[in-house]
Amino acid sequence: MKTPNAGLYDPSYEHDACGVGFVVRADGRRTREMVEQGLEVLLNLAHRGATGSDPETGDGAGLMIQVPDAFFRRECKALGFELPPAGCYGVGMVFLSSEDEEGKDCGGWVERCVAEEGQRFLGWRDVPVEPGEVGELARSVMPRIRQFFVERRGLDEDSFERKLYVIRRRVHKIAHERSKRYNLVREDGSRCYVASLSARTAVYKGLLTGEQLPRFYPDLRDPEVASALALVHSRFSTNTLGSWELAHPYRYMAHNGEINTLRGNINWMHARQSQLESPLFGEDLEKLFPIIQPGGSDSAAFDNALELLTLGGRSLPHAMMMMVPEAWENDNLIDEERKAFYQYHSALMEPWDGPAVIAATDGRSIGAILDRNGLRPARYSVTRDGRVTLASEEGVLNDVVPPEEITERWRLQPGRMLLVDTEQGRILHDEDVKRSVIRRKPYHRWVEEGTISLKELIDAPAPNGQLEPSSLHERQRTFGYTLEDLSILLAPMGRDGKEPDSSMGDDTPLAVLSERPQPLFNYFQQLFAQVTNPPIDPVREELVMSLNMSLGPEGNLFDETPEHCRRMLLDHPILTGPELEKLRQLETPPFKSATLSTLFSVEEGEGGMEWALEELCKGAEEAIREGVNILILSDRGVDAEKAPIPSLLSTAAVHHHLVRAGIRNSAGLVVETGEAREVHHFAVLVGYGAVAIHPYLAFETLADIVGDAGELEGVSVEEASEKYIKAIKKGLLKIISKMGISTLFSYCGAQIFEAVGLEKDLVDRHFTGTASRIGGVGIKGLAREALERHRRAFAEIETNPAGLDVGGEYHLRVQGEYHQWNQTSVVALQRAVKTKSFETFKEYTEHFDSESARLSTLRSLFDFRRDPIPVEEVESAKEIVKRFCTGAMSFGSISKETHETLAVAMNQIGGKSNTGEGGEESERFLDERRSAIKQVASGRFGVTTEYLVNSDQLQIKMAQGSKPGEGGQLPGHKISEEIARVRYSTPGVGLISPPPHHDIHSIEDLAQLIHDLKNANPRADISVKLVAEVGVGTVAAGVAKAKADHITISGHDGGTGASPLSSIKHAGLPWELGIAEAQQVLVENNLRGRVVLQADGSMKTGRDVVVAALLGAEDFGFSIAPLVAVGCIMMRVCHLNTCPVGIATQDPVLRKKFTGAPEHVINYFFFLAEEVRQYMAELGFRKFDEMVGRSDKLTMRDTIKHWKAKDIDLSEIFYRPEVADEVATHKAEVQDHNLRASLDNEIIPRVRPALEDGNPVRLCMPIRNINRTVGGMLAGEIARRYGFEGLPEDTIRIDFKGTAGQSFGAWAPKGLTFVLEGETNDYVGKGLSGGKLIVASSPGAGYEPEDSIAVGNVALYGATAGEAYFRGFAGERFAIRNSGAEAVVEGIGDHGCEYMTGGMVVILGPVGRNFAAGMSGGVAFVLDENDTFRSLYNPEMVGLEVVESEEDVDLLRRMIVRHREWTGSEIANKVLENWSEYLPKFIKVMPNDLKRVLQERQAAELEVVQ
């Protein structure tokens, strides 16, 4: 459902994630029991759903079952009409407008459509509902819910199902047209929404909680409602502008996760339409268009496509495999046939990529598939009598299905599928389902014969620069090359094969505010994943990534012929000159290319470009109509008369023109351009439809600097080009992975960008569907910039000497781009804080704020509506400074001296400092050097229970401004003894922070982590740090619903740490947009009162604070400014450890140069507060809180002369939602974390003797999946009293029985022992801090423990100490980021021991793929019985050894003995009994880095001895 856009909120950025599940009887018997169990599953997944501001209104819940014939027959009879035999009629479930008249109207269309499609309309049934059972908010938007019945006429069963689909599409289209015509609010026509229309299935859903569903729909309680299967879903949406329609299931599926490539998928589906032909649909086909209904969610769009594929003739599993392929590209373990199947289908459709578990049914089969990287949980069990339960969690039917009845307990693995065919009565595992699909056609032969790799084509000579009429230099200037492009970008890429790093954020103007001509690329900012789905680590999880691209026309989606895979395969999108020539020479089918020039005549001025662009689009269309299927857009040949259209504009314009013309899929776009040179450029080009790019000028330039400048000493031209391509490839992988996308193929055309500063018309026409929220430059402006560059390149009179522009984008150059932090501002601030001079401070702020200041930021365009009061009446500076925090900078990234100076200062003024992600020395916990905010980041360095309990605020870092969506790395040489101690790692051994938190793969996971942290320390506020991008408001609403107490929105421009240059420059948005959007959405959803909203990111002045407050912030983070106050001079070498003022360095010599003092920081913040007061007085606010969210006080400066800035429209930023008085616009209430429900409330009183006096206590208790974070509160209690030391071993022992919920045993400190008879869900032992966890299935279980799953995904994440013994398997990512725990397990999934830095893991069974990726410390012992391990581990950072030293043998044996003792493991027993036989089968996995350090240490010790 689409609500009207208001302000910055756009509903298309809504996300959801959820609990999903199904129950089914393989024998197909329709029973009442299945329906009830479905509802039971829903009830037990309640905690995965969410509620909004109205706790009684759920985000949505639903159930899909087979059509309950007996029930409907009875009901219809009562209504006065007879139903035909089962299967001969269809049932529609419709949500109508609640107003009667509209409803009737719409009912009329339904009847008409049915009749027109030759079927017989039988009658309506008003579905009985009990509105009293639902929340007020849900009730207020509740539709009228009706069912209608259609009799099958002259069709077979399948055709009838297709006909019903046609009818439904027609009804929706009429509704859509109508709402457009009458300009109705719900433009997607949801006033008549058909939730389901089928002869096989019926959907009951709504804006409900799982528990409310059967209460609201009495039908579902009726004993005659029976089914052999039930698909259920409980929704967690990021906002609460509630919608009944967006509840799942849809017609075919329910989904937990996110489709990241949605925009591209929708565009491509649209582009495909004109080529569709189907004998099954025949003439009806056109009635279905558009296939993807506008305004739906990602799940709805996926459902639309799945439905089309299934009804178009493919089986359900076949369709699912097409849409969610496995990671086949780089996996050598996949068999050839399977690979061929996926490759063949990649020619038909790009993957729908993102973390997802998709459960789907056509009413006969039901199944589920998991994304290629296994980022969502899906557990299933099978009973003796063939009932299958699959759900996001284990234990959802524990009460009705005892372990004795279960014969199989397993999980969906990455990319794998499970299907239950109720017609054949079979349960089909991945291999069984897929084998038959893969063998349907000779895909392998087709692919062998049909595809051709670019490499196989005959070489063609490259024209290189000689054919160009202009010199290299002239062309470099035409395309805006600067000296920095050469020295900072190209040379390092050509030398090192990677993108360069920088630090200290971005302080140059937005492209639209820059006075220098900007490449169009710079107006586009990369989007990234945060909270609702995880970014991927493209290095450590390279396995799932792919840059493969292909060229050629696409065939009819419904057909399968050998011609469909006639593709030209490219390993990646960067073409060399000879490669492009190969393409250019293709002239005969199946491949025919044509080159179109993208130059325009300079003489025609600004209008000339627009005209040329139109001609280009027309030319492209004509070429395709003439049979061309590879279009090469080329800007070669610039000279004094001809200038290039920006390559991005020509690419996107042609792409969208062809999409609109319906022929986009007939050709692939190749771009030959002199403009693209850095990673971001290539990403944007691919994002807007380019399949391949030949950056000829970048290659020529590289060759030139290899020859001349010696920057690339000892590197040949060939090497430099190869390295450069390698760098671009790596960069592309990073950019797509930060959005959680694995394949470039599905990134192509996906438009994962937000435009900043481009005119709406321009964007709507050529970048259709891209967000651009502040207007700005139009096509004439872009032409002006292109002409400006051209003029400089071809000026008749050369300047002396002729050089390239200095640039100054990265390092300030007085002739170059403006930097806000410069010689004037830095010096003024340092002098002000040292002399405590407010006048000097004003000189500093004048620099940014005055009328004459250079416009660089959005806020510099703002002005205030004034209403002055005397400044004496304004609240004191002492109060205001409490709202200030310093940003998250870890001890490790900055020196100890700096870190402590900031902490002392903030503690003195009552503000807060932030540990950053590197932990805190325990000595600091209780003194003035303590950081009140303790950060919990993806690396979990030093995150012990003791650390948690010593905080006032716990900040979950989802993203950071300088490189949102990316992880980090601290190289070994920076890890001193001290830092290693705090981070629980080894000195000298490098550390990696993963891009995602591996316990946050979706929003409900975030809710779980918040719950975990709150349990550990109920006194701390939980903060979630986000980075501004389009949709951040929606994410913020989700985060508020996930129970955060505090939300930080960071701007793109801040960031102190080392980051790749392209991320610093091109990812994230200004905080002005982020804060405004967050405020607007939170207020509209009535969630604002529950959270504190913090603005962060390169804030400098009191005016910045006031602007942020007016937009909605009430708390403020600062990093760069306080660092400058203590001496930072913006060297931007934080990543090199050479900071000459002792701030960002660990070098003891340099650290001595630090001269900052707490007073400097204190002075800065007091000046800032004083300036805030002055502004408050001008604006007429006495209390700070009054000012929060008063965006009506902002206007645009009327003195703006800048030609680009003039066209900016800030009204969306200034929009202030109109809400009732009682709706809070700043923090006003306390989040209800529902800790009362925690099982620990029962445990803690019973273990008091242990807690208070250290006396041993032992308890027994049952446990269920709804008991989450069991032990978390107790852990906090122990750590608060006894610190990291905890209690003596086993002081508290609790024996549980059942299925534990998520985060079982989280944070458990020493002295706490949990023994679970049963199994757990995900995140067992999260942050384990010394405790002991034992999990073993119940003795009577019907399955073999060693073949079953004992603990879920991501066990022992971030553990620092402790022991764990798990009898059975663990899921994916076992012991990830473990830095000290010791564990034994009997088998694990993919990515085991990833990023591990310490501890020990023993695996007595199979391991999944990519074991030990990024593992820099600790050791693992793997029992490799079948000799498969060598093909499964990731050799990048570890070596394999035999277990031979006495020390190792003893250790291993001791661990296995303990495992046997605690779990009764039979494998352990077998191994121990036959020790000499098994010992040689163990492999020791040893990190190279650790080994090196240990050897060095040993050598050093030897020296000492000698």
Residues in contact with other proteins by the rule CB under 8 A: 483, 504, 708-711, 713, 792, 795-801, 803, 805-806, 811-816, 819, 821-823, 826-827, 831, 834-835, 1129-1133, 1136, 1138, 1140-1141, 1147, 1149-1150, 1153, 1155
**Residue 718 CB-density burial (10 A; 0-12 exposed, 13-18 middle, 19+ buried):** exposed
Distance CA 619, CA 624 (A): 9
Using left for φ > 0, alpha for ψ between -120 and 50, and beta otherwise, residue 364 falls in: alpha
Indicate the residue among 483 and 1451 with the shorter CB distance to other proteins: 483
In angstroms, give the least distance from the CB of 833 to other proteins.
11
| Helix (H/G/I), strand (E/B), else coil: 1278 | helix
DSSP structural state of residue 1030: T
DSSP string, 746-803: HHTT---EEESSB-HHHHHHHSTT-EE-SB-B-HHHHHHHHHHHHHHHH-SS--SS--
In angstroms, give the least distance from the CB of 812 to other proteins.
5
Asked whether the beta carbons of 1007 and 1044 are under 8 A apart, the reply is no
| Rg from Cα positions in the chain | 32
CA end-to-end span of the chain? 78
Number of residues that make up the chain: 1506
Indicate the residue among 183 and 799 with the shorter CB distance to other proteins: 799
In angstroms, give the least distance from the CB of 791 to other proteins.
8
In angstroms, give the least distance from the CB of 490 to other proteins.
15
In angstroms, give the least distance from the CB of 599 to other proteins.
22
Residue 1330, both tokens: 């010394």
Asked whether the beta carbons of 649 and 611 are under 8 A apart, the reply is no
Distance CA 376, CA 1270 (A): 22
Indicate the residue among 893 and 1079 with the shorter CB distance to other proteins: 893
DSSP string, 1436-1489: TSEEEEE--SHHHHHHHHHHHHHHHHHH--HHHHHHHHTHHHHGGGEEEEEEHH
Residue 1233, both tokens: 């974390």
In angstroms, give the least distance from the CB of 643 to other proteins.
16
In angstroms, give the least distance from the CB of 1071 to other proteins.
22
From 1099, 1107, 1096, select the one nearest 1050 (Cα to Cα). 1096
In angstroms, give the least distance from the CB of 1500 to other proteins.
23
CA geometry: angle 71, 75, 76, nearest 5 deg: 115
Out of 18, 113, 1134, 1139, the active site residue is: 18
Residue 370 pairs with which residues in a beta bridge?
A: 357
User: At a CB cut-off of 8 Å and minimum separation 6, what does 857 contact?
Assistant: 509, 510, 513, 820, 1053, 1070, 1072
Indicate the residue among 711 and 843 with the shorter CB distance to other proteins: 711
Residue position matching structure tokens 């009054």: 1186
Indicate the residue among 1136 and 1259 with the shorter CB distance to other proteins: 1136
In angstroms, give the least distance from the CB of 1202 to other proteins.
16
Distance CA 1325, CA 1305 (A): 5
Residue 1458, both tokens: 């303990």
From 232, 238, 237, 246, select the one nearest 62 (Cα to Cα). 232
Q: Respond yes or no: is residue 18 known to be catalytic.
A: yes
For 199-224, letters b (16+ CB in 10 Å) and e give bbbbbbbbbbbbbbbbbbbebbebee
Indicate the residue among 159 and 837 with the shorter CB distance to other proteins: 837
Q: Which helix (H) or strand (E) holds 1231?
A: none
In angstroms, give the least distance from the CB of 1438 to other proteins.
30
| Packing angle of the helix pair 577-584, 696-707 (nearest 10 deg) | 150
DSSP structural state of residue 362: -
Indicate the residue among 433 and 486 with the shorter CB distance to other proteins: 486
What are the start-end ranges of the E strands in 1061-1135?
A: 1092-1096, 1115-1118
Distance CA 1103, CA 864 (A): 10
Asked whether the beta carbons of 22 and 231 are under 8 A apart, the reply is yes
Residue position matching structure tokens 């509630």: 242
Distance CA 1391, CA 996 (A): 14
Distance CA 1051, CA 1028 (A): 6
Using left for φ > 0, alpha for ψ between -120 and 50, and beta otherwise, residue 1412 falls in: left
- Sign of the dihedral through C-alpha 706, 707, 711, 715: positive
In angstroms, give the least distance from the CB of 286 to other proteins.
57
Q: Which residues are catalytic?
A: 18
